[in-house]
């Protein structure tokens, strides 16, 4: 099957919905995830989605439930656009999944260390908490930036509810982190007091936990959508 013929099977106006991936043509007509030939408000049937689906957080296993109806004839003379080149780069290095797990884990570690400090009053736990909180906040910035890159090249900046939630709460996560760091730096003896600043500081450290969980939950929706 050539690309021209594949494009006719776009799931619109009663047509079947076919997608191509790694040289195989799959029939996704009856899939609830490809209603009217559209998936995640971004991917459209009738196209070769090899590059885009290779960036998807799920594996090739999800395609095994679909019937292979043909093979795709590839035009090797096709020239790559700058975006396609960037897709190849992203596909090779996967910057967002590589970067995002580190700061998310550190936010949890910071909260655990702070909890142990509150229970034991050992200063080493408090120092571990602020170091982890600081590094997590700094590392969250490039991780979120890589997320924006992934959003652009993989989903064409589609503003679905999931992406709006991830963007909004990612920004909140960083703002909470920066605020907590500023409070801690400007109040070096904060751990030995019961001041309002100390209370706010602790609230900020623990407030990031539900935010981290929510961001991860929304990311899971993308993975298994």
Please check whether residue 77 lies inside any domain of the structure: no
Domain of 44 in residue numbering reads as 3-71
pLDDT at 58 over 60: no
- Asked if 134 contacts 94 with a C-beta cutoff of 8 angstroms, the reply is no
Please check whether residue 76 lies inside any domain of the structure: no
Please check whether residue 17 lies inside any domain of the structure: yes
% of the chain with per-residue pLDDT over 70:
84
Residue 128 shares a structural domain with residue 213: yes
Cα Rg of the chain (Å, integer)? 23
Distance CA 177, CA 141 (A): 11
Residue 109 shares a structural domain with residue 172: yes
- CATH number (domain holding residue 54): 3.10.120.10
Question: What pTM does this model have?
Answer: 0.62
Residue 65 shares a structural domain with residue 105: no
Residue 66 shares a structural domain with residue 118: no
Average pLDDT value over all residues in the chain? 83
- Asked if 219 contacts 143 with a C-beta cutoff of 8 angstroms, the reply is no
Angle, helices 196-224/95-120, rounded to nearest 10 degrees: 150
- What would the pLDDT profile of 142-200 be if each residue is shown by its tens digit? 999 888 887 877 777 777 888 899 999 999 999 999 999 999 999 988 888 888 999 99
Cα-flanking dihedrals φ and ψ of residue 25, to 5°?
Answer: -105, 120
Distance CA 114, CA 208 (A): 13
pLDDT value for 137:
96
Please check whether residue 22 lies inside any domain of the structure: yes
Residue 217 shares a structural domain with residue 148: yes
Residue 42 shares a structural domain with residue 98: no
Residue 62 shares a structural domain with residue 148: no
- Total structural domains within the chain: 2
Residue 65 shares a structural domain with residue 97: no
Please check whether residue 101 lies inside any domain of the structure: yes
Residue 101 shares a structural domain with residue 147: yes
| DSSP, residue by residue, 61-105 | GGGGGSEEEEEPPP-TTPPPPHHHHHHHHHHHH-HHHHHHHHHHH
- Asked if 28 contacts 18 with a C-beta cutoff of 8 angstroms, the reply is yes
Residue 92 shares a structural domain with residue 138: yes
Residue 66 shares a structural domain with residue 116: no
């Amino acid at each position: 099957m050539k690309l021209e013929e594949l494009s006719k099977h776009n799931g619109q106006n009663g047509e079947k919905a076919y997608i191509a991936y790694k040289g195989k043509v799959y029939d996704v007509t009856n899939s609830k995830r490809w209603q009217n030939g559209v998936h995640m408000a971004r991917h459209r049937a009738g196209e070769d989605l090899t590059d885009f689906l290779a960036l998807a957080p799920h594996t090739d296993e999800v395609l095994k439930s679909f019937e292979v109806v043909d093979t795709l004839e590839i035009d090797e003379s096709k020239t790559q656009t700058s975006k396609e080149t960037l897709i190849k780069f992203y596909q090779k290095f996967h910057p967002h999944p590589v970067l995002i797990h580190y700061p998310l884990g550190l936010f949890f570690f910071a909260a655990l260390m702070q909890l142990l400090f509150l229970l034991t009053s050992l200063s080493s736990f408090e120092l571990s908490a602020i170091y982890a909180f600081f590094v997590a906040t700094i590392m969250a910035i490039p991780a979120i930036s890589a997320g924006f890159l992934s959003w652009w090249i993989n989903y064409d900046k589609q503003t679905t509810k999931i992406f709006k939630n991830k963007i909004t709460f990612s920004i909140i996560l960083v703002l909470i982190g920066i605020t907590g760091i500023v409070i801690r730096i400007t109040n070096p003896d904060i751990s030995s007091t019961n001041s309002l600043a100390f209370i706010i500081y602790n609230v900020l450290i623990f407030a990031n936990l539900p935010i981290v969980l929510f961001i991860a939950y929304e990311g899971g929706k993308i993975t298994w959508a």
